[in-house]
Amino acid sequence: MDVSDLRVFEAVSRHGSMNRAAQELHTVQSNVTARIRALEEELGVSLFQRHARGVSTTPAGQRILPFVGRLIKLLADARAAAKDDGEPGGTLSLGSLETTTALRLSPLLGQFAKTYPQVRLVVTTGTTRRLIDDVVSCRVDGAFVAGPVNHPDLDHEVIFQEELVLVTSPAVRGVEDLAGIADLKTIVFQIGCSYRQRLESLLADMGIVTSKPLEFGSLDTIVSCVSAGVGITLLPRGVVANAAREGRIAIHTLPPERSMVDTLFVRRKDAYRSSAMTALLDMLRSTHPTNSKP
């Protein structure tokens, strides 16, 4: 079983398409198809079910998929360890909530890039659920997610603490006004966002029924829609403070048990901790010592 074949298998499984996997891997579809067939013959099982829209990973393929990510990551860690002489360098792939990137990470990662110019930083954004899956599946080295997190394969530590606030249009004067709004809509990130889950729980406990949520992938879009009176959302105070000062939105304080949330940095327990990762964690802890723990 060749690791290059496993990379092809992982790409096809992720994309659900031989063609899109070929584009990502900078090869032709026929080569991808041949590699998959050879792997299936070697294993003696079908890894994909072919259909008109592409391919779906079979149960057998799903069972080996976690091992593929770990094997690829293990080989990458071995190469990184061989070249890691203690001076931070190489690629450091991170995931982050969009709100954390906007509020916290931009200046910090800018400082890190200046201090360690030999490190190539790659940052992707997503929901807590997707980011945890990315770390577990070894697609990123670590990620900033909303707590709590309890996963047997992950180490985590508190890096930031955020205060969540209810965000509405300026026409809403208080939380008590929500019950009187007909066809109240929530404006949220996609399923897997912990802030969305907290908002849904808050409204349910208040006995407020909402229509189907509106999902957007952009923080700016969510704030703009709330400002226009389309619906309400729940976000960290820091990311909406300017919009509130400008009068575009209203923010409503919630009780501490509803509002306070930890932002955690998570990474695999069995992953190699490179000098670049160590430098990043040291910088995070020194910048936010009251929220971090060794």
Cα distances (angstroms) measured from residue 18 to each of 59, 67, 68, 71, 254: 18, 21, 18, 22, 49
What would the two tokens of residue 42 be?
A: 């070697």
262: confidence class by pLDDT, cuts 50, 70, 90: very high
292: confidence class by pLDDT, cuts 50, 70, 90: very low
What would the two tokens of residue 255 be?
A: 């009780």
Percent of the chain at pLDDT exceeding 90: 71
The answer on pLDDT for 208 being more than 70 is yes
Q: Are 94 and 131 in contact (CB under 8 A)?
A: no
The answer on pLDDT for 116 being more than 90 is yes
The answer on pLDDT for 141 being more than 90 is yes
The answer on pLDDT for 259 being more than 80 is yes
126: confidence class by pLDDT, cuts 50, 70, 90: very high
220: Cβ contacts below 8 Å, ≥ 6 apart: none
Q: Where are the beta strands (DSSP E) in 36-141?
A: 48-51, 54-57, 90-96, 119-125
Return the CATH class of domain 162-259.
alpha beta
pLDDT in tens, 43-53: 999 999 998 88
Average pLDDT of every residue of the chain: 91
pLDDT in tens, 56-80: 999 999 999 888 888 888 888 888 8
Q: In the chain, list all ranges with CATH 3.40.190.10.
A: 86-161+261-287, 162-259
Q: Where are the beta strands (DSSP E) in the chain?
A: 48-51, 54-57, 90-96, 119-125, 142-146, 154-168, 187-188, 214-215, 233-236, 250-252, 260-268
- State the pairing for strand pair 142-146/90-96: parallel
Asked if CATH classification 3.20.20.70 holds for the domain at 86-161+261-287, the reply, yes or no, is no
Q: Are 141 and 93 in contact (CB under 8 A)?
A: yes
CATH architecture of structural domain 3-81? Orthogonal Bundle (1.10)
Q: In the chain, list all ranges with CATH 1.10.10.10.
A: 3-81
